[in-house]
Structure 1
């Protein structure tokens, strides 16, 4: 495969998986981002690493960080009510009162409402 095609495929795939990786390991997220920038991967190497990380369960502290990061896509345009709903769900998740998927569902609703195609094209809401 042509090196430029391989890099383009890595960039496209990374956009789909990066938040899935972030909620499992922020360190891996940073390492992969750095290695992509340094052209350290073939597409097969890259996808093998992504596949192995996706098999891991999310880490709560990493999930909280990722939820806050995703919220950043909306915070400037979100209504006060949407902000309050997100913060309430986040707090309930932090306090083990609800599951992660419930907070992610709220953020998915916002991605639809605020037309964030970047997030909707990612796999974040599917994991």
Structure 2
């Protein structure tokens, strides 16, 4: 019977980011290395600096042996959920969009220069039109 693997989100992994509760991700697998901190040959600080995040690059850069990779199996608690999180959608009514535009800081900043420009163009057009008559 196949083993069911627990899936974790990166948000869940990030919550385990202390020396009392230390999770890391390496190659898409989630490891609880809390009990291994004192035994890590590179020192606990190396694992603590990688806790709560994807440490694949740091792990590969350190050049771990085949024995170290086999030993990791003892600390594997699941896999990183491969589905990307769906961003929350904001729902607006049409009149909300229009009113939010006119009340935004950007609209206020550009309102006066735009009005002056329109007035200036109108005056220039009126002068040119008057001269042609």
Q: What TM-score does the superposition give when structure 1 sets the normalisation length? A: 0.30
Which structure is higher in RCO with an 8 Å CA cutoff and minimum separation 6? Answer: 1
Mark the structure with the bigger radius of gyration.
2
Q: What TM-score does the superposition give when structure 2 sets the normalisation length? A: 0.29
Q: Which has the higher helix share?
A: 1
Q: Which has the higher strand share?
A: 2
